[in-house]
Structure 1
Amino acid sequence: VPVVIYGFQHYISMLGSIILVPLVMVPAMGGSADDTAAVVSTVLLVSGLTTLLHTLFGTRLPLVQGPSFVYLAPALAIINSPEFFGLNDNNFKHIMKHLQGAIIIGGVFQVLLGYTGLMSLFLRLINPIVVSPTVAAVGLSFFSYGFTKLGSCIEMGLLQLMMVIIFALYLRKIKLFGYRVFLIYAVPLGLGITWAVAFALTASGVYSYKGCDANIPASNNISAFCRKHVLRMKSCRVDTSHALRVSPWFRFPYPLQWGTPVFNWKMGLVMCLVSVIASVDSVGSYHASSLFVATRPPTAGIVSRGIGVEGISTVLAGLWGTGVGSATITENVHTIAVTKMGSRKAVGFGAIVLILLSLVGKVGAFIASIPDVMVAALLCFMWAILCALGLSNLRYGATGSSRNSIVVGLALFLSLSVPSYFQQYGLLPNTNSSVPTYFQPYNVASHGPVDTGFGGVNYVLNTVLSLNMVIAFLVAVILDNTVPGGRQERGLYVWSEAEEATREPSFLKDYELPFKIGRAFWWVKCMGL
């Protein structure tokens, strides 16, 4: 029973990290509410499968795998590629097939990075001073989406944001039945209360405007009155999505459900470079979680094997069509610290529950029916947490060091300023565009400053250099590895001795998953991976 409780507790506390990415991506691709429901179900299935894969054959730490925010920005950049402009109503599947191909290429590259031993060499360049601004930039890069979307129904958006803040901060020390319920379940509690309030207001007719239909775009409305209020209706009402009503009870997400992936070398190269950033993000999570549950850092071999399995997980995400690559959910470390739950058995149980839920079509449809404004409010909180978790890595280094402060400060500032230059270059003021304002920064491939004479090279460079996390990583890794500084000052990660790779940590014996085959593969660590 405790394992069941811990498993539910662990996954519910990370609900936002698992489900919110498709709620942003699918509408950006022109997908319907039914498409969103299908992608959410696919995400649940792939997250469950890859988590089991990682706990058995990866780092063997209680880390949940899922759609990573690291892949969201490059996915949006691909979605807004010039070749997809002016597509017909079938643009969702067309774009998804290109995304699948790019994700598979990036996953294969990550597999090679892990299993060839290149990751072990790469670890020499990675430390908390590099990881901190890189992860923080992932959260900061979506500032144009957060409050911009939230403001479309300001009262519901602010209520959602304030409820999560109150639960996570002001009520965090209050315990019920021995658990910090408000801190652990801040996201689902805040969502449930705000949704209930929005439902009551919708039912009472507060957001009803006579003669107006929320499903008719404002541009198609003849009435000036309806054009003024249709966006508010669509954002504030909870009954505009029909996904829950029309979705089937049973749906099996299967590989290649959107069609055969399309492999485009320039999109694939972008994803390969981003998979390096995803690996950097995961390294910090491996190190912090291992100190929590095993009281010692992981070996370089364990890290390499974990990255290799994450690459396999990303390939699976590409085959199934989740829209983004799979990686360790960064918030997982925070959840372990808060819940004090370091059981692989509980994480494995939760993964099985995710797989079963993915088969119930109504579950994905229910999640897909969350109003967009509430999604934006939750993402404001989630991205802020992601930024904070990134900066928390600085505790491993000398926080008072002027060297570290300058490196991190430059990395963060340039991660916002340089992409802004690329994103705004060549744009005319007040340009009429079909791309929403909060997605226009990811439209850079069509107007970026790089012009080499080769279209594919221009696409890759303009796209990659417009990604905040890429700039943060490049600045941090170059400065940290060239500016003199002591090992303690730089907070270099300490990896366990090589011979410890052949010894199973004692904590794993206490939390063994009910898959005995996993133990037979433990000795893979002896192979030098």
Structure 2
Amino acid sequence: MSLYTEDIEICECQWYLFSEMENHVGEEGMKMVNHTENGHVDDAVTVEEKECEDGLIYKVTDNPPMHLTILFAFQQALLSLANQLALSLMVAEAVCGDKNPEFKTKLLSTTLLMDGITTLAMVLFGVRLPLFQGAAFEYVVPLLALQTLYPDRCDAGKPTVTTMFNETTGMNLTIVTNATVDEWDLIMSHVQYLQGSLMTAGFIHFLIGATGFVGLILNFVGPVTIVPTILLIGIYMQRAAVKFVSVHWGIGLLTAGLSVIFSLYLARWKLPIPMWTKKRGCHVMRYPLHQVFAILIAMLIGWGVSGIFTACGLLEGNDLARTDIGHEAIADANWFYFPYPGQFGPPDFSVSVFVGFLIATMISVLDSIGDYYACAKTCNVPPPPNHATNRGIAIEGLCTFFSGIMGCGHATSTYGGNVGAVGITKVGSRQVFVLCGIIYIAFGLVGKFSAVFITIPHPVLGGALIVMFGMFIGVVLSNLQYVNLTSTRNLAIIGLSVIMGLAVPYWVEKTPDGIQTGNENADRILRTLLGNANLTGALLACFMDNTLPGTKEERGITAWQSSETPEEGQSSVYTQGDISLYDPLLPERVKNLSIMKYIPFLPNPKLKQTKRDSFMSEEMHSLPAL
């Protein structure tokens, strides 16, 4: 999904938007000219050239009209819907619940609900930028590692078949005994291990932000460490994509191919859409609808092809690719379902699971910080100050803790794809993302909605995963722009980290008895640690990057720091907002208390006063002499 493409001209892709905003010309600083009879784009709408260059139509602090807010909020909500479905199904498979429609429906509802709550918390109380919070893909690696290291974890819920030889009759006797553990109880036991482990990891995540520990981490971690670490996530996730798409390669590749065609090959073509407005009557607007919703449209087409194949009898015996499987789940699902804490039982704890989640948490923190700065750059506002970054990480950790209580089995994290969508739509209003969070809460409460989406054929979902994971890897590699790629030092660190991150988990998978310390619990913990590609790659990259001689410019750290800290006299380039937009929603009297300077996630009132005095001094010097 080409969400980071910014070559769409405002005057073309936002035709309808400008015509609807004609009554708000004064507020947005846009100029409209009279419509001509031929209705061409260039004649119909003219926007100030400066506004097109600066970017946003609606700034971070602006409030668009409600009907436009609803339109943009639904667009942002639908962009990442497929990701939420994919990760919830991976959690279901990890806990042996992939064959239980009731559990999958409840799990997806819980995921959507927590996505909405976390998005609201981030926009209103966190970093206060237009950001969407969704299921964190950093947690895919530990989930896949659990499946690889413990392939027999689901056998306890299956009936056992024993074959005995009867000497009297001379015949074999097959005895089928009932499952030792009920299927639902087996699923719940696995979920409860995820719950307690995720709650603990979420609490540590919260402490990293609340104590300001993020700044210390960034002193030792740069692009040379982050790129191979997150790259290993994308490479490792191909296992999940292949598992889904291999059910029917034809349908899967069709879905993936259509996504690529819509998002890339047809990126410069604008879809003509007939519209009617009170000002212009019937007319045609051109908007890249097929590009913005490329994956969703491709999934709908793939779903339809699966339906045709099912009706024609071409998918006999291939239940995971059929569309007539799972109708009972839709019929049995309640119209409204209210996820609640402890719905899957009391939380339990597993050291092995916790270690995997803790590694994912650290990677998620670094990934989110990068998204914060990317969003600020897209919105043309100052980079987030330390207190806003700390508060954002703390909110993510707190919501991860509550995701564990609710039984999601994964954390929530910032989605860079939605940041790219802000660049395309030119709408960065926080109000849009507040409504987006409310929409996801509504999705989570409507049980039928989740039940419909869990019936999507596996090859359709696999095709979408190929494109999403491919885009994920591409975005990760783009961070190498800050690094000197002609340096043998950097190339060696990146290459060795990736190869060791792949080799060590492969050895653990192929030689399950290779680790024998004499203690079963210690063996399990070591297998989990070494079986996690992120841990091996991250530790090796971080160690080599901080011990091998190299300048900060060579390592890419200087470029990161310069992008995060504006140079002197550069504040005037931020035309879409100032540093005050990051202030928390607190009364002024509270924000001016002297104790605030000791709280890492709240602004220092003394620094704010210094900046205000400096600004007033510059303004006074700029006044003409009397």
Whether TM exceeds 0.5 here: the answer is: yes
**1:191 paired residue number:** 299
C-alpha spacing 1:450/1:330, structure 2 compared with 1 (3 Å): farther
Partner of 1:443: none
Contact residue 128 and residue 581 of structure 2 kept, 8 A: no
Alignment of 1:29-428 (within 5 A): 29-31=95-97, 32-78=100-146, 81=150, 85-87=155-157, 88=181, 89-90=183-184, 91-176=186-271, 177-208=285-316, 230=317, 233-242=318-327, 243-426=329-512
Pick which of 4-13 and 366-375 moved more: 4-13
Between 384-393 and 272-281, report the one with greater CA deviation: 272-281
More strand by share: 2
Residue 543 of structure 2 is aligned to residue 478 of structure 1: yes
Question: 1:404, 1:338 → 2: CA distance?
Answer: 33
Pairwise CA distance, 1:151? 2.1
Post-superposition shift, 1:138? 0.9
Structure 1 CA distance for aligned equivalents of residues 581 and 565 of structure 2? 22
Name the residue aligned to 1:528. 600
Residues of 2 paired with 1:314 and 1:496: CA distance? 29
Structure 1 residue runs of 4 or more that deviate by more than 4 Å after TM superposition: 78-85, 497-500, 505-513, 515-526
**Partner Cα separation in structure 1 for residue 591 and residue 314 of structure 2:** 60
8 Å CA contact 2:230, 2:476 repeated in 1: yes
**Alpha-carbon contact 1:184-1:339 (below 8 Å) kept:** no
> Which residue among 523, 534, 544 is the counterpart of 1:458?
523
The amino acid of 1:460's aligned partner reads I
Alignment CA distance shift 1:509-1:196 (3 Å): farther
Structure 2 distance, partners of 1:423, 1:332, is 35
Letter in 1 for 2:289: V
The question of whether the paired residues in 2 share the 8 Å contact of 1:97 and 1:261 is answered with yes
Is contact 1:344–1:512 with CA below 8 Å preserved after alignment? Answer: no
Go from structure 1 to structure 2 and tell me whether the alpha carbon gap of 1:30 and 1:407 turns closer, same or farther (over 3 Å shift).
Answer: same
**In the aligned structure 1, how far is the partner of 2:300 from the partner of 2:405?**
33
Question: Does the 8 Å contact 1:17/1:331 carry over to 2?
Answer: no
CA distance in 1, matches of 2:434, 2:575: 18
The residue type equivalent to 1:237 in the other structure is: R
Question: What residue is the counterpart of 1:220 in the other structure?
Answer: none
Deviates more, 1:378-387 or 1:334-343: 334-343
1:337 offset after TM fit, Å?
3.6
* CA distance, structure 2, for counterparts of residue 83 and residue 151 of structure 1: 23
Which residue of the other structure, out of 523, 547, 555, is the alignment partner of 1:490?
555
The answer to whether the 8 A contact 2:352-2:528 is kept is no
User: Which residue pairs with 1:226 in the alignment?
Assistant: none
Q: Does the 8 A contact of 2:209 with 2:390 survive in 1?
A: yes
Higher relative contact order (CA 8 A, sep 6+): 1
Does the CA-based 8 Å contact 1:298-1:496 persist in structure 2? Answer: no
Go from structure 1 to structure 2 and tell me whether the alpha carbon gap of 1:170 and 1:37 turns closer, same or farther (over 3 Å shift): same
Distance 1:6 1:518 in 2: 28
Contact 2:198 2:357 in 1 (8 A): yes
Which of the two has greater helix per residue? 1
Query: Which whole-Å CA distance do the structure 2 matches of 1:526 and 1:332 have between them?
Result: 34
1:273 maps to a residue whose letter is I
Q: Deviation string for 1:10-29 (max 9, x for gaps)?
A: 22222222221012221342
- Give the superposition deviation at 1:240: 1.1
Give the letter aligned to residue 373 of structure 2: H
Q: Aligned equivalents of 1:332 and 1:316: distance in 2?
A: 23
Identity %: 29
C-alpha distance 60-197 of structure 1, shift in aligned 2 (>3 A):
same
Distance 2:591 2:73 in 1: 23
CA distance in 2, matches of 1:292, 1:396: 18
3-state secondary structure, aligned to 1:318? helix
Q: CA deviation at 1:517?
A: 4.4
Conserved in 1, the CA contact under 8 Å of 2:344 and 2:407?
yes
Q: Are 1:14 and 2:89 matched, yes or no? A: no
In 1, Cα distance between equivalents of 2:591 and 2:502: 43
TM-score of the aligned structures, taking structure 2 as reference length: 0.71
3-state DSSP class of the match of 1:380? helix
Contact 2:497 2:540 (C-alpha < 8 Å) held by counterparts: yes
Q: Which amino acid aligns with 2:140?
A: L
Give the aligned length: 480
**Alignment deviations for residues 96-153 of structure 1 (CA, whole Å, 9 cap, x no partner):** 1111111001001111122122222111112222222222211110223323431221
Note the 1:420-459 alignment, pairs <5 A. 420-426=506-512, 447=513, 449-459=514-524
CA distance in 1, matches of 2:568, 2:209: 19
Q: 1:525 to 1:47 in 2, by over 3 A?
A: farther
Query: Distance between the aligned counterparts of 2:405 and 2:236, measured in 1?
Result: 27
Post-superposition shift, 1:205? 3.1
Distance 1:252 1:322, change over 3 A: same
Matched residue type, 2:326: S
Structure 2 unaligned regions, length at least 5: 1-66, 158-180, 272-284, 602-626
Q: Give the conservation status (yes or no) of the 8 Å contact 1:343–1:511.
A: no
Distance 1:401 1:516, change over 3 A: closer
